[in-house]
Amino acid sequence: MTTDHPSQLDDYARVRDVLSFLTENWRDQPSLEVLASRARMSEDGLQRLFTRWAGLTPKAFLQALTLDHARAMLQDSASILDTSYEVGLSGPGRLHDLFVTHEGMPPGAYKQKGAGLTISYGFHPSPFGVALVMVTEFGLCGLAFADAGEEGKALADMTARWPNAQYTEDSAKTAPFAATIFAGERWQANQPLRVTFIGTDFEIRVWETLLKIPVGKATTYGDIAGAVGSPKAARAVGAAVGKNPISFVVPCHRVLGKSGDMTGYHWGLTRKRAILGWEAGKLSA
């Protein structure tokens, strides 16, 4: 794994522990003193950690994860999905977003379970733990997360999706993708990140719809089902969202329950909360 930003992993490990504690004790509204004690840090140290990692104080970070804030994110749920899909997803409301262009895959790549594809992969530090980045000649095809020491599980999870592909570890090839994904200053409309989807036609329609959700907004499974022309298929949409192979870039973490509750996330609810809070910090910067 590359170590160009090793402090990111240290910061996330501490943030993750605090978020895990909050998940179990949020009703008690734990104080900064309690959270700092949990993290074995001073209150000032915890303040600096969150500010460095997310651009928010712990208090502001927690406010970004409240049910009221989640419901506010859902206010425009249906309308944000009405916009036509455009390469780059440019516009004044997308200033904080990663620009993405979707490249096509050879017909049959999914049905053949990846046969004929060469997928390069590498592990890189990220603000949300170790990131497994996977690319083909057509662009980014996979992004997964793991806690330190669990990289093998993430790799097995992802390679099982396309078992007939050829896999090669090549961190030098995946590093530029990782650098772009997690560095907001590199999100340029004239240099979009190339992604490619390997899935069923229905899954790809759902994943393309996820790309329409801007930072600071959220949607529901039901609204996505309506947007893809299958209003009664919320359960199938949920399954497709759960199979999203390009986490974070294709923002399945911005899908919430219709009442604003935090629904499942393939890489863990603690990580989902971390990503949403981190994004709130980027919006406030």
Of 154, 98, 123, 101, give the one whose Cα is nearest residue 279: 98
What confidence tens digit (pLDDT) does each residue in 209-262 have?
Answer: 999 898 889 999 999 999 999 999 999 999 999 999 999 999 999 999 988 888
Q: Is position 39 within any domain?
A: no
Q: Is the dihedral of CA 121, 239, 251, 10 positive or negative?
A: negative
Q: Is position 65 within any domain?
A: no
Number of domains observed in the structure of the chain? 1
What distance in Å separates the CA atoms of residue 210 and residue 194, rounded to the nearest whole number?
A: 16
Q: Which residues contact 41 (CB under 8 A, 6 or more apart)?
A: 14, 49
Instruction: Give pLDDT, residue 98.
Output: 67
| SS3 readout for the chain | CCCCCHHHHHHHHHHHHHHHHHHHHHHHCCCHHHHHHHCCCCHHHHHHHHHHHHCCCHHHHHHCCCHHHHHHHCCCHHHHCCCCCCCCCCCHHHCCCCCEEEECCCCCCCCCCCCCCEEEEEEEEEECEEEEEEEECCEEEEEEEECCCCHHHHHHHHHCCCCCCEEEECHHHHHHHHHHHCCHHHCCCCCCEEEECCCCHHHHHHHHHHCCCCCCCCECHHHHHHHCCCCCCHHHHHHHHHCCCECCCCCHHHECCCCCCCCCCCCCHHHHHHHHHHHHHHHHC
Q: Is position 184 within any domain?
A: yes
Q: Is position 233 within any domain?
A: yes
Q: Is position 213 within any domain?
A: yes
Tokens at residue 148, please? Answer: 């330190």
Q: Is position 229 within any domain?
A: yes
Residue 252 appears among annotated catalytic residues: yes
Catalytic residue among 117, 131, 155, 252: 252
Q: Is position 142 within any domain?
A: yes
pLDDT tens for the chain, 285 residues: list them.
Answer: 544 444 778 889 888 888 888 777 766 778 889 999 988 899 999 999 998 898 888 888 888 877 788 888 888 777 777 654 443 343 434 444 667 887 767 778 888 999 999 999 999 999 999 999 999 999 999 999 999 899 999 999 999 999 999 999 999 999 999 999 987 666 766 778 889 999 999 999 999 999 989 888 999 999 999 999 999 999 999 999 999 999 999 999 999 998 888 888 999 999 999 999 998 888 876
Instruction: Give pLDDT, residue 227.
Output: 93
Global confidence as pTM? 0.86
- CATH of residue 214's domain is 1.10.10.10
Q: Is position 14 within any domain?
A: no
The boundaries of the domain holding residue 142 are 74-260
What confidence tens digit (pLDDT) does each residue in 180-213 have?
Answer: 998 766 676 677 888 999 999 999 999 999 998 9
